[in-house]
Amino acid sequence: MGPAATESAPDTGLIAVLDEEGRPLPGAELPELADERLIELYGTMCLLRAIDRRLEGLQRMGRIGFFGSARGQEAAVIGSGAAFEARDWIFPALRENGVMLLRGFSLSKYFAHMFGNRQDVLRGRMQPMHFAAREVNQVSWSSTIASQLPHAVGCAWAMKHRGDSAVAAGYVGDGGTSEPDFHAAMNFAGAWKVPVVLICQNNQWAISVPSSRQTASQTFAIKARAYGMPGVRVDGNDLLAVYRETRRAVERARAGSGPTFLELVTFRAGGHSSADDPTRYRDPREEERWQRRDPIARVRAHLEGRGLWDAARQEALDEEQRAALNQAVREAEGAPPPPPLDVVEDVYAVPPPALLAQRRSLAEELRARELGESSAR
């Protein structure tokens, strides 16, 4: 796959703005994006990769249990996430949590979730990489593949029903398109014309199954035709193309014209998760080909070509992010575990009597244990 201008229909060709060296393609329409914002998006892409490296180290040392990397997919994550407004709702899959960082979610709380401690806004209840936070309008996925898509569509339908102008985003991987929830969400979204953008990160692999064996369709984007919505296939390693096409889809949804399905063609540079070894099923030559299309290198080359970036600025950014990550990990790892009595908090608006009785029983047991330990001392 090489970047090209739109070939054939938007759902069978490949839309790109930059070539692999970061130069605008002839005739390509660049998105309206201020230089400061473009630099911010590039910096967030770098931060996301730095976080992945740090999480990999923490997992290898046994300090966290699990993580899923977005390495190689930073343009797809940040470019699409940047196209939504703060009032819009994000329903991610495994690799889209960079969007919440772009929206201002703190690094210390991000890492606290990975440790599952008292600083974690989810109180340590979700397994790692299942981020959520009301402050940035992000809802956790649940690991039952593609179930976040009906959630996104339902949220969009509710907002339409009450006259809210916000838009929902639902992310899924190429493997998730084989799940029933994907088809249910696409059908409902198309039939009810809800304000949602459904985004498939086609990173070529669903754990060990290649996308070529995932479907008989010419592309994933072409599936949108059957559900009565536009399908758009984009070079997912081209930040500018991803942002431009997602922005158009968001504006279309906000204007009341209904959903769009985006296929972002990218590559999962690492394993499916920290529990996976891709060398057992993937040809290293494929990895080498995609390394030459690295999304961060492409944006950096584009910035440098426009005189907006240089080695000194990169060195300063790297040092700033390294210091921020060090501080965030120290703060997060040093926090105590969640209080045991918090186990029933945030479960019900009005806890039922049986649950309250169990909580009282737990409180009594904890007090008895504390008194017993005090007496032993």
Q: Give the active site residues.
A: 268, 272, 281
Rounded distance between C-alpha atoms, residue 196 and residue 249, angstroms: 9
Nearest CA among 201, 197, 150 for reference residue 173: 201
Is residue 221 within 8 A of residue 186, CB to CB? The reply is no
Residue 96: enclosing H or E segment and its boundaries? none
Buried b (16+ CB within 10 A) or exposed e, 331-363: bbbebeebeeeebeeeeeeeeeeeeeeebeeee
DSSP SS3 for 15: strand
Cα angle, residue 62 at apex, residues 61 and 64 outer, rounded to 5° = 115
DSSP of 212-257: GGT-SSS-SGGGGGGGTS-EEEEETT-HHHHHHHHHHHHHHHHTT-
**DSSP-based helix, strand, coil % in the chain, nearest 5:** 50, 10, 40
Cβ(149)–Cβ(165) below 8 Å: no
Compute and round to an integer the Cα radius of gyration of the chain: 22
